[in-house]
Structures are given as structure tokens and as C-alpha cells.
Amino acid sequence: MKKFSIMFMLTVILIGVFVLGFGYKATPEPNNYYEVYLDDKAVGTIASKEELEDYIDENGAYYKNKFDVDKVYSPKGLQIRKLTTYNGDVDSISEIYKKISKNESFTVRGYEFVIKKEIAPDEKTKAELTTQSVYVLDKDVFKKAVEILIRTFVGEDEYKAYIQDTQVKIENTGEEIQNVYINEDITVKETNIPVDEVIYTDENILANYLLYGKNQKAREYLVQAGDTIENVAFNNKISPEEVLISNSNLTSTTNLLYPGQKLQIIETNPQISVVEESYVVEDIESKYTTEERYDNNTAIGQDKVIQEGQNGLERVAQKVRKINGVINYVDPQGKTVLKEPVSKIILKGNKYIPDVGSTSSWGWPTDSGWTLSSGYVWRTNPVTGKRELHGGLDISGTGYGSKIYATNNGRVKEASYHYSYGNHVIIDHNNGYLTLYAHMSRINVKVGQVVARGDVIGYVGMTGTATGPHVHYEIWKGCDYCRINPMSMY
């Protein structure tokens, strides 16, 4: 009986071991997969990160050929995160690729140049800092494009002489470039570039963009009899310098044109600012002054010239700063009189100073030694960057605080401050003309005051919208702000 009990117990134990042993199931091992996200949205799960990257590269033959690169990369917004899961389901690489390609662009390795540019304020907007990116595959493409732009504005031979330090030293007159640089803050970083971005591989194409901006198309102009570069430029709302830039066969604004000649007309819109600083010595005519003498025995209005005027000659030294070929600042360095001017003397019929100005004789608004930094031309405003007609003359070079003169008899109509003109004076000459003098450091007359030609009405400054000390001078004909070219009166 005892033996039977022992046998029974052994049998029960063996049966239990058998049942438990064959019924045991081992704990499964987790899978290491990868979760794919595009712009933080889940796209699917893959078994191999490298397999997806290789698949993207293998299917990028078009972009490899287009950009002449060896590898194509995943989009910038793609993230692949490691995932540990007991779930064994994964998506096919081809399906994930299709989902990605529908929503984002693949990338190639290259360089991003970021150009930071400050936009000056006007009456409607505040100053702001803008940035734009330029993409290249080779950093040298950007460097060479900038050099092309510099040579365009500075001049091929002049820039070469500056770089090689072979400029002709100034003995009597001449110009010596002292510095050339880019005004904007430009940074560069290596990055993955989406293939749908504009990627520059040719320095000439990039230089064209840096000079003209986007979507600029040239128009063809057929020269007519009597055309000059200056009137062609004005009638087409560009500057004479822009005509030269777009027509390499022209070397100077004094070049003669012939009827039937074809010219390319295109506005420049430089994306970066080429600054050229030079020391200039030149011989400049000094305008003669007009002296009025009065005779009580002669009737008012019966003027008589008793001595004709003659211009003098001065050797003037200046430091000149240009931005993209346009004078931005003039700093006078001294002048030597080579020939004294001879005043024109007019005998007038009465000592009384009339507030009616002459329509045939106009004085000059500044001292001698001046430089015309901008004429009555279409141009890109150097401060606001906007395309506009520059409705007067910018006369620089006589120095901050130098005198500004009334150019004709008249009565002061306005003497105040304006956001753009700064301290300015408007004179009504009561003969159909008005003149405006802007950017003064200080005003020297009052509204209603009668002034004679040559009276000091203010002093040169840079108030309002100005990049350097100068007087902005306008002549209006027929009505307020009906501007004409002041040089037509001289």
C-alpha cells in the first residue's frame, strides 16, 4: 500500500512536469525599428534607416544630373527616430518614399549665403532688417559672382589696378581707389538645400541676379535721331549709368548714338551694396557770381550788363564714397585757386530790391569746389532703395556748414522742417518759378522775407533723408512741385 502511494505521487509529479513543461511559452524579444516623421507628422515605420537613405539617393538620378552632384539627401523636415516595439509590422521603403516625395523636396549638399540688409525708413514705414538666402553648391561661385558685380560698378581696369596695387599715383589730378568692400553682413554655412530652391552653379548667372534681382527683363530701344544717352535714360526711367551697364559697347555717357542703334534697357536692382572709397583731385570750373549795381537815374526793369562774367578754375581734392556706382558721400579735402573768376556786373534801374526774379539769369546755390553727386535722373534711391525720379540736383563737396545762396530774387514762401527735405527753404520768385533748397544744417531766413540773388539763406547739412552733407536743389515751373531740370536754366 505504501509502495502504491509513492508510485502514485511520482506519477502525479511527472504528469505536472509534462503539462507545465510543454505549456510554457518564452517571452518574445522586442524589435528595433524606426519611426519616420515629416515636419513632426508620423509617416510610417521602417526596419532600416540606412535602407531609406540609400533608396532616396538611388532614386535621385535626375537631381544628380541636374546639379552634377554625387548624392541626394532626405528633406530638411524629415526625422527618423529609433523605436523599440513588440509590434512586427513595418511599411515598405517604397511606400514611405512616395509619401515623402508628395509633401517635401529632397535635398543636395551645398552652401547658404545669408545677406542681411537694412532698409531705411520713409514716411510710411520704419527701418527694418531684411534677410535673403542665396544657395550655391560651390562657395567659389558666390565669391566670383561678387567680384563680377564689383568690376561692373568699379570698372574692370580700375579694380584690377586696385587689387594689384598698380594705380597711377596722383601728381596733379586723378583718382585713386582707397577701399572697396561690400556693405551688407553676409554669412555662410554648409547645409542641405531643397532641390526646388534656386541653386546657382554658374557665377555669371548669379552675378546677373545680384545686379538686376528677380524677374527683370531687358527691353530693346531703337535709337532715334538726336538721341543722347542721357535723354534715352531719362525717357526710359533709368539712369545714364544703367544704360552703360546694360550695353557693354558704350563706355561713357558722352558716347554718340546713331539712328537705328539698338540699346538694352533694364533697371538695376542690386542685392548687395558695393562701396568704393576714392581720393579724387580734379580741376573744376568755379562759377562766376553776378553783382547787381543800382542806378536811381535808370528806370526799374531796364537792366544793363556792364561787365561779362568769366568762370574761374580750382583744383579740388575730395574723398568720395560711391555705393553701386552712385556718389553717396563727398568729404572736401581742400582746394587751390588756379584762376580767379570774374564777376558779371549788371546795372539795375533802382536800388530797391524787387521780389521778382530774372527769368534769364540764375545764380548758383553753393560756394565753388562743388560736385554734382546726383542729377535730375531716374535712379534707385540710395536711402530707401525705391525706383524714382530724382527731381533736382544733389550738390556736394563744399563741406558741412558751408553757405547756401538764393539763386534769384524772390520772397521766402516756406522755411521749416520736412521728414525728407529736412531743414529747407522755398522761395517764390514771382516770375513763374520757385526754388527749393533742402537738408540744411541751419536756416538763415524767415517766411515772407524778400531775398536777393546771392543772399545767404542757410547752411549745408544732412538733415532729413540724406547720406551725407549736401544741398538738394530744385526748380519748379508754373506750380508747386512742378519740377524741371535745374541745369536747363544754366
- The chain-wide mean pLDDT, for the chain, equals 90
Q: Which grid coordinates are listed for 389?
A: 525720379
CA 393/CA 438 separation, integer angstroms: 10
193 and 251 in a common domain: no
What's the domain count of the chain?
A: 4
188 and 56 in a common domain: no
Give 385's contacts (C-beta < 8 A, 6+ positions apart).
119, 120
How far, rounded to the nearest angstrom, does the alpha carbon of residue 211 sit from its chain's CA centroid?
9
Grid look-up 596695387 returns: 165
The residue among 191, 156, 197, 163 whose CA lies nearest residue 177 is 163
CA atoms within 13 A on the CB side of 381: 17
186 and 97 in a common domain: no
CA 410/CA 134 separation, integer angstroms: 55
pLDDT tens-digit profile of 3-39? 445 555 555 455 554 444 444 444 578 888 999 999 9
CA 236/CA 224 separation, integer angstroms: 13
pLDDT tens-digit profile of 100-136? 999 999 999 999 999 998 877 666 667 678 899 999 9
The residue among 143, 160, 142 whose CA lies nearest residue 151 is 160
433 and 303 in a common domain: yes
Q: Is residue 10 part of a domain?
A: no
456 and 398 in a common domain: yes
Residue 20 pLDDT? 45
State the pLDDT confidence band at 363, using cuts at 50, 70 and 90.
very high
Phi then psi for 149, rounded to 5 degrees?
A: -65, -40
Q: What is the DSSP string of 128-170?
A: EEEEEEEEESSHHHHHHHHHHHHHHHH-HHHHHHHHTT-PPPP
Question: Where in the sequence is the domain holding 327, given as residue range(s)?
Answer: 274-489
| Residue finishing a domain among 212, 240, 256 | 212
237 and 127 in a common domain: no
159 and 180 in a common domain: yes
| Residue finishing a domain among 195, 212, 229 | 212
407 and 471 in a common domain: yes
Collapsing DSSP to helix, strand or coil, 444 comes out as coil
Sign of dihedral through CA atoms 248, 179, 315, 393? positive
At 235, which CATH number?
3.10.350.10
Determine how β-strand 199-200 pairs with β-strand 128-136: parallel
Q: Is residue 21 part of a domain?
A: no
290 and 388 in a common domain: yes
Q: State how far the alpha carbon of 219 is from the alpha carbons of 128, 227, 240, 262, 378, in Å.
A: 32, 17, 15, 10, 16
pLDDT tens-digit profile of 157-214? 999 999 999 999 999 999 999 999 999 999 999 999 999 999 999 999 999 999 999 8
Q: Is residue 14 part of a domain?
A: no
Q: Is residue 22 part of a domain?
A: no
Whether the Cβ atoms of residue 33 and residue 90 lie closer than 8 Å to each other: yes
Percentage, residues of the chain above pLDDT 70: 92
239 and 290 in a common domain: no
Instruction: Indicate whether 347 pLDDT > 60.
Output: yes
319 and 198 in a common domain: no
| Residue finishing a domain among 212, 227, 253 | 212
pLDDT tens-digit profile of 211-262? 999 888 889 999 999 999 999 999 999 999 999 999 989 999 999 999 999 9
The residue among 192, 206, 184 whose CA lies nearest residue 111 is 192
Q: Is 293 or 204 the better-scoring residue by pLDDT?
A: 204
At 408, which CATH number?
2.70.70.10
pTM, two decimal places = 0.78
Tell me how crowded residue 271 is: count the other CB atoms within 10 A of its CB.
17
Q: Is residue 396 part of a domain?
A: yes
233 and 96 in a common domain: no
pLDDT (average), residues 327-339: 95
Q: Is residue 431 part of a domain?
A: yes
Q: Is residue 11 part of a domain?
A: no
Q: Is residue 416 part of a domain?
A: yes
